[in-house]
Amino acid sequence: MKVIKHGSIGDDVEEWQYFLMGEQYYIVEGTGVFDDITHAATVDFQRRNGLKPDGVVGKHSYLKANFLGFDFSDFNPIPAKGEKKEGKKAKKKQSDANVDMSGKHWPPEPNFKGPSPALAQEMFGKIKYKSDRKGQVTLLNNWEKKNIITINIPQLNKIGQRWGHKNGDILFHKLAAPQMIALWQAWEDAGLLPLITDWCCTYSMRFVRGSKTRLSNHAYGTAFDINIRSNALGKTPPVVGKPGSLRKLVPLANEFGFYWGGHFPRRKDGMHFEVAKIIRIA
Ligand SMILES: [Zn+2]
């Protein structure tokens, strides 16, 4: 990662913007251009974290972000003077990565990706919509009527948090419903339900958080979020054994055609699972 500031352009800027979104600066967008909004958010972030609020993102800001759990693709933490403790932590994290299931690189990414906007539309139908300045999405065609159905996931009644659904009834895309039902059954059969602490949402007509142009896969009724309290957007999801870790759920999810947000190359979204391909359930 190189030093970036107002006026900088490129991948490093985009990555920094994803980090800021993860810190709840949702006004920032991942444009790759270090604009006024990115500058203001950076200064605010620095001020709140006891860093020099100059809007220049260098070693100290990256270190802080890394300490907060953001996994920069090209970041090699070198402890600065007086930051030995953080350096030690970073080192420990690294050695964990070599051990079986305990590191942040487990489980490995599957051999497929989450669908691009064009592919999602092809697979799940064309959503015609309009949006306002605030990014509120309003559906304009009968896509919802044609595609979104109520399905029952009985396992939702057996996890830590009981609300957010009606006795297991949730909304989902009809084409992906069989594999959603099958996945939760498989999780239960594998004894993994105790790892699920909370359930958040599936179908929601909205943009990707932080964007005002790109529809979320939640808008297609093909994504859902769990363990949201311990898997904040933009942070490295907790490793196996840590509270709220859902990494052990991922291999089965992949088997049933779901891609895990913790595998997103830039902005990690550990709470998030989305349908990447339609699986026929016998
Ligand atoms: Zn999500």
- Per-residue pLDDT for 64 more than 90? no
Question: Per residue in 114-134, pLDDT tens?
Answer: 998 889 999 999 999 999 988
User: What dihedral do alpha carbons 17, 20, 21, 22 form, nearest 10°?
Assistant: 130
Question: What pLDDT band is residue 80 in, cutting at 50, 70 and 90?
Answer: very low
Domain regions of the chain by residue span: 11-96, 117-275
Between the CA of 223 and the centroid of ligand 1 the distance, in Å, is: 6
Look up tokens 């913007």; give the residue. 17
> How far, in Å, from the CA of 9 to the mean position of ligand 1?
28
pLDDT tier at 73 (50, 70, 90 boundaries)? low
Residue among 25, 54, 53 at smallest CA distance from 38: 25
> Measured in angstroms, how far is the CA atom of residue 78 from the centroid of ligand 1?
33
Residue 46 has pLDDT above 70, yes or no: yes
Contact status, residue 29 vs residue 212, Cβ threshold 8 Å: yes
Query: How far, in Å, from the CA of 160 to the mean position of ligand 1?
Result: 19
- For ligand 1, a single-atom ion, the residues with CB < 5 A are 225, 272
At the topology level of CATH, where does 117-275 sit?
Muramoyl-pentapeptide Carboxypeptidase; domain 2 (3.30.1380)
Alpha carbon of 87 to ligand 1 centroid (Å)? 32
pTM (predicted TM-score): 0.70
Distance in Å, CA 196 to ligand 1 centroid: 15
Residue 115 DSSP symbol: P
Q: How far, in Å, is the centroid of ligand 1 from the Cα of 46? A: 28
Q: How far apart are CA 180 and CA 192, in angstroms?
A: 15
Give per-residue pLDDT as tens, 192-221: 999 999 998 899 999 988 888 889 999 999
How far, in Å, are 195, 244, 269 from residue 108 at the CA level? Answer: 19, 19, 15
CA of 201 to the centre of ligand 1 (A): 8
Rg (CA), the chain: 20
4 C-alpha to ligand 1 centroid (Å): 29
How far, in Å, is the centroid of ligand 1 from the Cα of 250?
Answer: 15
